[in-house]
C-alpha cells in the first residue's frame, strides 16, 4: 500500500493553477498526487488579459501550454467538472459519470458572471464576458453586428466594451450607478474617465436601468437581440449584441450542496488558513470568503493559493485580508484607486487636482491633522501611484506641501523619506529596507538587477519608478552618482550619443569627439561609436577615414579572435540550410588550411586556427563558392535558427526555413547595442527554440506569433509575446520597428530582454511604440531598416577587393612572409589544437628584416 | 645618446594607420608599433602576458586621462604606450622600445630602461 495521499483540485483557473505550481515548488507533491479538474476545454489562462485574446490568440494567454506540469505527480484533466462532493466517503463525482477519491480537496471554482433577471436575457446574441469561448462567440456575432451594448460600467464592463469596440462594433456602455467604475472612483473621477472613453467613440449611459432586452421577433423563443429598453426612456436603443458584465458571484454551489458553511453574501466560508468547515476541504480564490468576504481580484486569490499550500505543509501562513488598491490602463487611460479612496475615515480631508483639458483628475484623502495620506484616486495620469500607495500602507508622514504629490511633475517633486519598513512592492511584499540593503550589499546598479535580486516589481511592475528613485538615492548616499556616461571621454549615454550623432550628421569618431567629447577615446566608446555610425550610415567597418580604427577585437579583423591569436571563420548559412556542394566547399577550405572544425549552436560550421594573414585567402575561397563569411562576432545579428517546417515536417504549419532565411538575409549586418539572435519555429512544438532568442517567430495556423526579448547565457530569459497571428507583411513591419527602436535606444551591451525590462512600462511600452505607433516613429524606423537592407553589402568581399584593407592582414609589416612564431598547434582527436607559451617566442635575429625602400 | 646602429628601420610612417597598431619583427621578436593621433610612434612587446598570445598590436588605441594607451584585444587590460606598464594591474608590464622617426622612416631601437 502506498502511503501517498490524493489531493483533488476542483477548477483549473488562474488560482487553481497557482496552487498547483506552489504545491510543486514547495514539495507538496512529495506527499500528494495532485489531480486537477478543469471544466473549460483548455488549461488555465490569463483571464486578466482576456481582451488581448483578439490580438494574440488563445495559445499566448495559456499558463500551461501543452497542459502538462513539469512534475508528473500533478495531472490536469480538462473538460471535466466536479459535480458533487460526498464528504462522508471523501469522493467527488465528475461530469463524466465517474468518481474520484480524495484525502484533501481544494475548491478553486472561481466566480460566475452575474446576470440580472432582465427580461430577454436568454435571447440569442446575449453574452457574458468570462471565458475564451465567450470571446469567440462574441467575435462571431460581431461579424454581422452594427451596434452592441455592454451592461455594466465597472472594470470588467469597460474591458468588454473595449473588446467590442476593437471588433469595430458601435459600442454603448450602460451603467446603473451614476458613474463609471463606481467601486473605485468618485463622481469627478468617473466623469473624467467617461470623457476619455467617449473621445474614443464609445457612448456611455450612466444612471440608467435596463427594463428589458428587445427581440427581433415577438413571441418566438429563439429570437435575437434587436435593442435595449431603458426604464423611463421611451426610445429603444438599437443593438445586435448585449454583453452582461455587471459583477461576479462566487461559485459556491458545490459547497452549499454538501453542507459546507457559506457566507451570507455568497462564498465558501474559510478560516485564515483557507480551511472550510470540513477540515479536509479547502477553498481558495473567488469562490472563497475568508472572514465572510469574497475578493474579486487575482492577487488575493494567489495569496490564498500560497496560504493553502503552506497550511497543507503544516506552515503558519494566514490570509489577513488584501490590499484592494487597483491600478490599470483601460483603453489607454490610467486609472488607480487606493486606500480610503472615498474618504470614509472620520474627519478625512480631500485634496483635488483636476485638469479637464488634459483629462487628468487626482484626489488625495488626508487625515484630519494633515499628517497622513489615507488614500486616493488617479484618473488620466497614475504615474504617482507608485509613490502614493506605499505612503498609505506605511503610514509615513506627508511632506509639508502634500499638493506637490499630485501636481504635474514640472511644478514640484516632493522628497519623500520612506521608513525602511515601508512596503514598496505589494505583490511580492518587499520593503524599502530590503531593497536598499540589496542595492548596498549586492552592489546593484540598475533596476533590472534590483528586480532580479529582490523580486520587487516582478508582478505588476507599478513600483518600478520607486525602485529607480531608491537606487538613485542609495547611490548618491554612497557617493556614487548614477552615471550614465559611457566612459571618461563622453558624458553621454549610448542613446544620447546616438541622437547627437544623428542630429549632427556626424560621420567619424573625430567629428563626434570634437563636438561632444574629450581625449582620444578608448576601448569602450570607440566600438560603441563605430556601431552607431554603422547603424546610421552603414559604411564599411574597416573604412580608414571613419571607423577603421574604432573596431573592437573581432570586428577589426572581421573574424573571431581565439585564445592563441588565431581566428575562426564561420561562413553564413542562412536559416541553417546548406547544399551538399557548399558543405563540400567548407570541408575543402578547412582541410586545405588545416583548420579545426566544429558545428555551432547557431546551425553553422566554425573553422578555427586561421592566422590573420590567411583570412583574405579563406574569404576568397568562400566568396568564389557563393558564401559570405558570417557575423559570428560583433554586436550584430548572428543567426536566425530554424526548424525544418511544413515543407518536410509532419507537424509544421508554416514554412519556417524560408522565413528564417528571409529574416537572416534581411537583418544580417545590422549593428546593434549587443549581439542579436533570432529563431523561427514551424509550429507550437518550438523545435527552433525561438523563445530563447532576441526575436522568436512561431508559426500558427493563421500566421506568425512574434516573441521578443529572449536570450540564453548566464541569465536566460524567455521571449515574450509581442503580437500574434501576424501576416508576413505585419511581422516584418513590427520586427523592423522593434529592432530599430532597440538599436536607437538601448544602452551599450544591453540585450533586448534587459532593455525591455528597464523601459518605463516594459513590454507594454514596446507594444505601444511598435504595434500602436504611439510615438509616431513607425514609418521612420521602417525607413531606417529599409535603408539598412538596401545598403547591405558583403564586407569580406569588399575587403579582399581593396588592397588598402588587405594590407592590414599581414603577420609582420616588415616581414610579411614570416608567420608569427607565437602561434603553434598540437593535435587532439584528429584535429589541431592551440599551444600557448608562458613567454614570448623569439625567432632569433637570423631573419633579415627591414623597411621596404 | 644611442647609436643609430642600434635602431632598425621598420616601415614608412604613412604605412601605419593613425590610432592603430601594426606588428613588426625586431631581432626575432614580435613588436607592436603604434602611431597616435598626433603622429607620435610607440613600440611595445606584442606578447600579452594575460592571454599569453601575441596580439597587443591589434588592440584599440586611445587615451586614459593624458596617458596614451592600447587595450589588449583579448581581455582588455590597458597598457601605457610610453612605458608598457599595465594600467589595470600594477605588477604587470610589457617591454617598451625606443622609437625614432627619421626622414619618414620608423626606426625601433633598444628596450627602454
- pLDDT tens digits, one per residue of A741-756: 999 999 888 999 989 9
Alpha helices (H) along A313-352: none
Rounded to an integer, the average pLDDT of A498-520 is: 92
Lowest mean pLDDT among A407-411, A415-419, A841-845: A407-411
Residue A853 has pLDDT above 60, yes or no: no
Percent of chain A with pLDDT over 90: 59
Domain range list for chain A: 5-111+250-312, 126-246, 323-414, 418-481, 557-624, 637-791
3-class DSSP assignment, residue A362: strand
Å between B97 CA and nearest CA of chain A: 15
- What does DSSP say about strands B8-12 and B105-111: parallel, antiparallel, or unpaired? antiparallel
The length of chain A in residues reads 853
Distance CA A274, CA A258 (A): 18
Fold of A637-791: Sulfite Reductase Hemoprotein; domain 1 (3.30.413)
Residue A470 has pLDDT above 90, yes or no: no
| CA-to-CA dists, residue A790 to A4, A517, A669, A692, A783, angstroms | 65, 32, 12, 29, 10
Tell me A759's DSSP state: S
Rounded to an integer, the average pLDDT of A367-378 is: 88
3-class DSSP assignment, residue A711: strand
Lowest mean pLDDT among A204-218, A326-340, A744-758, B8-22: A326-340
Q: Which candidate from B47, B62, B73 shows the least CB-CB separation from A822? A: B47
Find, in chain B, the residue whose alpha carbon is nearest to that of A838: B52
Residues contacting B54, CB < 8 A, separation 6+: A565, A820, A822, A823, A840, A841, B23, B30, B46, B47, B48
State the pLDDT confidence band at A410, using cuts at 50, 70 and 90.
very low
Residue A390 has pLDDT above 90, yes or no: no
Cβ atoms < 10 Å from Cβ of A371 = 12
Residue A852 has pLDDT above 60, yes or no: no
User: Which chain A residues are closer than 8 Å to B18 by Cβ?
Assistant: 549
Cβ atoms < 10 Å from Cβ of A40 = 18
Tell me A395's DSSP state: T
Mutate to test the interface with A, among B14, B62, B95 (most CBs of A within 10 A): B62
The verdict on B64 touching A (C-beta cutoff 8 Å) is yes
- CB contacts < 8 A, A to B, total 139
Percent of chain A with pLDDT over 70: 95
Residue A823 has pLDDT above 90, yes or no: yes
Instruction: Provide the sign of the torsion angle of the four alpha carbons A143, A147, A148, A154, taken in this order.
Output: positive
Residue A60 has pLDDT above 80, yes or no: yes
Quote the mean pLDDT of chain A.
89
Residue set of the binding site of A: 643, 649, 683, 687
Can you name the residues that pair with B11 across neighbouring β-strands? B106
Distance CA A70, CA A64 (A): 10
Superfamily of domain A5-111+250-312: FAD/NAD(P)-binding domain (3.50.50.60)
Residue A502 has pLDDT above 50, yes or no: yes
Three-state SS letters, A77-121: ECCCCEEEEECCCCEEEECCCCEEECCEEEECCCEEECCCCCCCC
User: Which chain B residues are closer than 8 Å to A803 by Cβ?
Assistant: none
pLDDT digits (tens, 9 = 90+) for A784-794: 999 999 999 99
What does the block give as the cell for A802?
581593396
Q: Which helix (H) or strand (E) holds A36?
A: strand A32-37
The domains spanning A5-111+250-312 and A126-246 adopt the same CATH topology: yes
The CATH number of the structural domain formed by A418-481 is 1.10.10.1100
- What does DSSP say about strands A104-107 and A5-10: parallel, antiparallel, or unpaired? parallel
Q: Which CATH class is domain B12-99?
A: mainly beta
Three-state SS letters, chain B: CCCHHHCEEEEEHHHCCECEEEEEEECCEEEEEEECCCCCEEEEECEECCCCEECHHHCEEEEECCEEEEECCCCCCEEECCCCEECCCCCCECCEEEEEEECCEEEEEEECC
Q: Are A175 and A205 in contact (CB under 8 A)?
A: yes
3-class DSSP assignment, residue A268: strand
Tell me A746's DSSP state: P
Cβ atoms < 10 Å from Cβ of A601 = 12
State the pLDDT confidence band at A296, using cuts at 50, 70 and 90.
confident
User: Which chain B residues are closer than 8 Å to A519 by Cβ?
Assistant: 62-63, 65
User: Which chain A residues are closer than 8 Å to B15 by Cβ?
Assistant: 807, 813
Distance CA A183, CA A206 (A): 14
User: Which chain A residues are closer than 8 Å to B47 by Cβ?
Assistant: 822, 839-840
- Output phi, psi for A156, to 5 deg: -70, -40
pLDDT digits (tens, 9 = 90+) for A206-243: 999 999 998 887 655 668 899 999 988 888 899 999 99
Q: Which helix (H) or strand (E) holds A699?
A: strand A695-699
Can you name the residues that pair with B99 across neighbouring β-strands? B108
3-class DSSP assignment, residue A365: strand
From A587, A567, A609, select the one nearest A826 (Cα to Cα).
A609
3-class DSSP assignment, residue A705: strand
Instruction: Provide the sign of the torsion angle of the four alpha carbons B5, B8, B14, B18, taken in this order.
Output: negative
Q: Which candidate from B8, B9, B53 shows the least CB-CB separation from A822? A: B53
In terms of Cβ atoms closer than 10 Å to its own Cβ (0-12, 13-18, 19+), residue A634 is buried
pLDDT digits (tens, 9 = 90+) for A312-323: 998 888 888 877
pLDDT of residue A481: 64
State the pLDDT confidence band at A843, using cuts at 50, 70 and 90.
confident
Q: Which candidate from A548, A837, A851 shows the least CB-CB separation from B9? A: A851
State whether B74 and A553 contact (CB < 8 Å).
Answer: yes
Rounded to an integer, the average pLDDT of A30-46 is: 93
Cα angle for residues A147, A148, A149 (degrees, 5° grid): 135
Rounded to an integer, the average pLDDT of A831-836 is: 93
What does the block give as the cell for A543?
573604412
Find, in chain A, the residue whose alpha carbon is nearest to that of B56: A565
pLDDT of residue A50: 86
Superfamily of domain A323-414: FAD/NAD-linked reductase, C-terminal dimerisation domain (3.30.390.30)
Distance CA A734, CA A782 (A): 9
| CA-to-CA dists, residue A722 to A458, A766, B56, angstroms | 18, 8, 44
Distance CA A166, CA A159 (A): 11
Residue set of the binding site of A for [4Fe-4S] cluster: 643, 649, 683, 687
State whether A845 and B27 contact (CB < 8 Å).
Answer: yes
State whether B9 and A837 contact (CB < 8 Å).
Answer: no
Cβ atoms < 10 Å from Cβ of A824 = 14
The alpha-carbon radius of gyration of chain A (Å, integer) is 32
User: Which chain A residues are closer than 8 Å to B23 by Cβ?
Assistant: 810-813, 820
Cβ atoms < 10 Å from Cβ of A431 = 20
Residue A425 has pLDDT above 60, yes or no: yes
Can you name the residues that pair with A365 across neighbouring β-strands? A350, A375
State whether A840 and B33 contact (CB < 8 Å).
Answer: no
State whether B55 and A813 contact (CB < 8 Å).
Answer: no
pLDDT digits (tens, 9 = 90+) for B93-107: 999 999 999 999 999
Fold of A557-624: Sulfite Reductase Hemoprotein; domain 2 (3.90.480)
Residue set of the binding site of A for siroheme: 687
Instruction: Provide the sign of the torsion angle of the four alpha carbons A174, A175, A179, A182, taken in this order.
Output: negative
Q: Which CATH class is domain A126-246?
A: alpha beta
Q: Are A161 and A149 in contact (CB under 8 A)?
A: no
> Which string of b and e fits A321-348 if b means at least 16 CB within 10 Å?
ebbbbbbbebbebbbbbbbbbbbebeeb
State whether B58 and A849 contact (CB < 8 Å).
Answer: no
Distance CA B88, CA B77 (A): 6
Distance CA A308, CA A319 (A): 9
Q: Which helix (H) or strand (E) holds A159?
A: helix A155-166
Q: Are A597 and A608 in contact (CB under 8 A)?
A: yes
Residue A371 has pLDDT above 70, yes or no: yes
pLDDT of residue A478: 75
Distance CA A603, CA A572 (A): 10
The residue assigned the cell 477519491 is A101
Instruction: Provide the sign of the torsion angle of the four alpha carbons A506, A508, A511, A513, taken in this order.
Output: positive
In terms of Cβ atoms closer than 10 Å to its own Cβ (0-12, 13-18, 19+), residue A62 is middle
Rounded to an integer, the average pLDDT of A37-51 is: 90
Can you name the residues that pair with A104 across neighbouring β-strands? A7
Mutate to test the interface with B, among A825, A851, A852, A853 (most CBs of B within 10 A): A851
Cα angle for residues B17, B19, B25 (degrees, 5° grid): 60
Residue A84 has pLDDT above 90, yes or no: yes
ipTM score here?
Answer: 0.95
Q: What is the pTM of this model?
A: 0.63
Distance CA A680, CA A664 (A): 10
For helices A447-454 and A432-441, the axis angle rounded to 10 degrees is 110
State whether B23 and A565 contact (CB < 8 Å).
Answer: no
pLDDT of residue A418: 67
The verdict on B100 touching A (C-beta cutoff 8 Å) is no
What does the block give as the cell for B86?
599595465
The verdict on B65 touching A (C-beta cutoff 8 Å) is yes
Distance CA A370, CA A400 (A): 9
Q: Are A416 and A400 in contact (CB under 8 A)?
A: no
pLDDT digits (tens, 9 = 90+) for A524-537: 999 999 999 998 88
Amino acid at each position: 500500500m502506498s502511503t501517498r495521499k490524493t489531493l483533488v483540485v476542483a477548477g483549473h483557473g488562474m488560482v487553481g493553477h497557482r496552487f498547483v505550481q506552489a504545491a510543486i515548488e514547495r514539495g507538496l507533491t512529495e506527499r500528494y498526487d495532485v489531480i486537477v479538474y478543469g471544466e473549460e476545454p483548455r488549461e488555465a489562462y490569463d483571464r486578466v488579459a482576456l481582451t488581448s485574446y483578439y490580438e494574440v490568440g488563445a495559445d499566448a494567454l495559456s499558463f500551461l501550454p501543452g497542459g502538462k506540469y513539469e512534475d508528473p505527480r500533478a495531472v490536469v484533466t480538462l473538460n471535466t467538472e466536479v459535480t458533487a462532493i460526498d464528504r462522508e466517503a471523501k469522493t467527488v463525482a465528475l461530469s463524466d459519470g465517474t468518481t474520484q477519491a480524495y484525502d484533501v480537496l481544494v475548491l478553486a471554482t472561481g466566480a460566475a458572471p452575474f446576470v440580472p433577471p432582465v427580461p430577454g436575457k436568454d435571447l440569442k446574441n446575449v453574452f457574458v464576458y468570462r471565458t475564451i469561448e465567450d470571446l469567440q462567440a462574441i467575435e462571431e456575432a460581431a461579424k454581422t453586428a452594427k451596434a452592441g451594448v455592454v451592461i455594466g460600467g465597472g472594470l470588467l464592463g469597460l474591458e468588454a466594451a473595449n473588446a467590442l469596440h476593437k471588433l469595430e462594433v458601435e459600442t454603448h456602455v450602460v451603467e446603473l450607478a451614476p458613474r463609471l467604475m463606481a467601486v473605485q472612483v468618485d463622481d469627478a473621477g468617473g466623469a473624467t474617465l467617461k470623457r476619455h472613453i467617449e473621445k474614443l467613440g464609445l457612448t456611455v449611459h450612466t444612471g440608467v436601468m435596463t427594463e428589458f432586452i428587445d427581440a427581433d421577433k415577438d413571441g418566438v423563443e429563439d429570437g435575437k437581440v434587436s435593442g435595449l429598453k431603458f426604464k423611463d426612456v421611451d426610445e429603444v436603443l438599437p443593438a445586435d449584441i448585449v454583453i452582461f458584465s455587471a459583477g461576479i458571484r462566487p461559485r459556491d454551489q458545490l459547497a452549499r450542496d454538501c453542507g459546507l458553511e457559506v457566507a451570507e453574501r455568497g462564498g465558501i466560508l474559510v478560516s485564515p488558513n483557507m480551511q472550510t468547515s470540513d477540515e479536509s476541504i479547502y477553498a481558495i480564490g473567488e469562490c472563497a470568503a475568508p472572514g465572510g468576504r469574497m475578493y474579486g481580484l487575482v492577487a488575493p486569490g494567489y495569496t490564498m493559493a500560497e496560504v493553502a499550500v503552506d497550511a497543507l505543509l503544516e506552515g503558519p501562513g494566514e490570509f489577513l485580508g488584501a490590499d484592494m488598491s487597483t491600478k490599470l490602463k483601460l483603453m489607454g487611460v490610467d486609472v488607480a484607486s487606493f486606500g480610503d479612496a472615498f474618504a470614509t475615515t472620520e474627519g478625512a480631508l480631500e485634496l483635488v487636482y483636476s485638469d479637464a483639458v488634459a483629462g487628468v483628475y487626482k484626489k488625495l484623502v488626508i487625515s484630519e491633522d494633515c499628517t497622513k495620506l489615507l488614500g486616493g484616486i488617479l484618473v488620466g495620469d497614475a504615474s504617482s501611484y507608485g509613490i502614493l500607495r506605499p505612503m498609505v500602507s506605511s503610514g509615513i508622514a506627508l511632506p509639508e506641501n502634500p499638493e506637490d504629490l499630485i501636481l504635474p511633475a514640472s511644478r514640484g517633486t516632493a522628497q519623500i523619506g520612506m521608513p525602511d519598513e515601508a512596503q514598496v512592492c505589494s505583490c511580492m511584499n518587499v520593503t524599502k529596507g530590503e531593497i536598499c540593503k540589496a542595492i548596498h550589499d549586492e552592489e546593484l546598479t540598475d533596476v533590472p538587477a534590483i528586480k532580479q535580486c529582490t523580486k520587487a516589481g516582478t508582478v505588476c511592475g507599478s513600483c518600478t519608478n520607486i525602485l529607480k528613485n531608491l537606487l538613485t538615492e542609495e547611490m548618491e548616499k554612497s557617493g556614487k552618482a548614477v552615471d550614465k556616461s559611457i566612459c571618461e571621454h563622453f558624458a553621454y549615454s549610448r542613446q544620447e550619443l546616438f541622437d547627437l550623432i544623428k542630429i549632427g550628421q556626424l560621420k567619424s569618431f573625430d567629428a563626434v569627439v570634437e563636438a561632444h567629447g574629450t581625449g582620444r577615446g578608448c576601448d569602450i566608446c570607440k566600438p560603441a561609436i563605430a556601431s552607431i555610425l554603422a547603424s546610421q550610415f552603414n559604411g564599411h567597418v574597416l573604412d580608414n577615414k571613419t571607423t577603421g580604427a574604432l573596431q573592437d577585437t573581432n570586428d577589426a579583423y572581421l573574424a573571431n579572435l581565439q585564445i592563441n591569436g588565431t581566428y575562426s571563420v564561420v561562413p553564413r548559412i542562412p536559416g541553417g540550410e546548406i547544399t551538399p556542394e557548399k558543405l563540400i566547399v567548407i570541408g575543402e577550405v578547412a582541410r586545405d588550411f588545416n583548420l579545426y572544425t566544429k558545428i555551432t549552436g547557431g546551425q553553422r560550421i566554425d573553422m578555427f586556427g586561421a592566422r590573420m594573414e590567411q583570412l583574405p585567402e579563406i574569404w576568397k575561397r568562400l566568396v568564389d563558392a557563393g558564401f559570405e563569411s558570417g557575423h559570428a562576432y560583433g554586436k550584430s545579428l548572428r543567426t536566425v535558427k530554424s526548424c525544418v517546417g511544413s515543407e518536410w515536417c509532419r507537424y509544421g504549419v508554416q514554412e519556417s526555413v524560408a522565413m528564417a532565411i528571409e529574416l537572416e538575409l534581411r537583418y544580417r549586418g545590422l549593428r546593434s547595442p549587443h549581439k542579436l539572435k533570432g529563431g523561427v519555429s514551424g509550429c507550437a512544438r518550438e523545435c527552433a527554440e525561438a523563445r530563447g532568442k532576441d526575436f522568436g517567430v512561431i508559426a500558427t495556423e493563421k500566421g506568425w506569433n512574434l516573441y521578443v526579448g529572449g536570450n540564453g547565457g548566464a541569465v536566460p530569459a524567455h521571449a515574450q509575446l509581442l503580437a500574434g497571428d501576424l501576416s508576413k507583411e505585419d511581422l516584418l513591419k513590427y520586427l523592423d520597428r522593434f529592432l530599430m527602436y532597440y538599436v536607437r535606444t538601448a544602452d551599450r551591451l544591453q540585450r533586448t530582454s534587459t532593455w525591455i525590462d528597464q523601459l518605463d512600462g516594459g513590454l507594454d511600452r514596446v507594444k505601444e511604440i511598435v504595434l500602436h505607433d504611439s510615438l509616431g516613429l513607425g514609418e521612420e524606423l521602417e525607413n531606417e531598416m529599409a535603408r539598412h537592407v538596401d545598403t547591405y553589402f558583403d564586407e569580406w568581399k569588399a575587403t579582399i577587393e581593396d588592397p588598402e584593407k588587405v594590407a592590414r592582414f599581414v603577420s609582420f609589416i616588415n616581414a610579411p612572409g614570416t608567420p608569427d612564431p607565437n602561434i603553434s598547434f598540437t593535435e587532439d582527436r584528429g584535429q589541431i589544437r592551440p599551444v600557448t607559451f608562458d613567454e614570448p617566442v623569439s625567432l632569433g635575429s637570423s631573419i633579415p628584416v627591414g623597411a621596404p625602400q | 645618446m644611442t647609436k643609430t646602429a642600434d635602431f632598425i628601420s621598420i616601415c614608412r610612417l604613412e604605412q601605419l594607420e593613425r590610432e592603430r597598431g601594426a606588428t613588426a619583427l625586431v631581432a626575432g621578436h614580435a613588436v607592436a608599433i603604434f602611431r597616435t593621433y598626433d603622429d607620435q610612434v610607440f613600440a611595445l612587446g606584442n606578447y600579452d602576458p594575460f592571454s599569453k598570445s601575441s596580439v597587443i598590436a591589434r588592440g584599440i588605441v586611445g587615451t586614459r586621462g593624458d596617458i596614451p594607451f592600447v587595450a589588449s584585444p583579448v581581455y582588455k587590460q590597458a597598457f601605457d604606450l610610453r612605458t608598457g606598464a599595465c594600467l589595470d594591474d600594477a605588477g604587470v608590464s610589457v617591454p617598451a622600445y625606443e622609437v625614432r622617426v627619421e626622414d619618414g622612416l620608423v626606426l625601433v631601437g633598444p628596450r627602454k630602461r
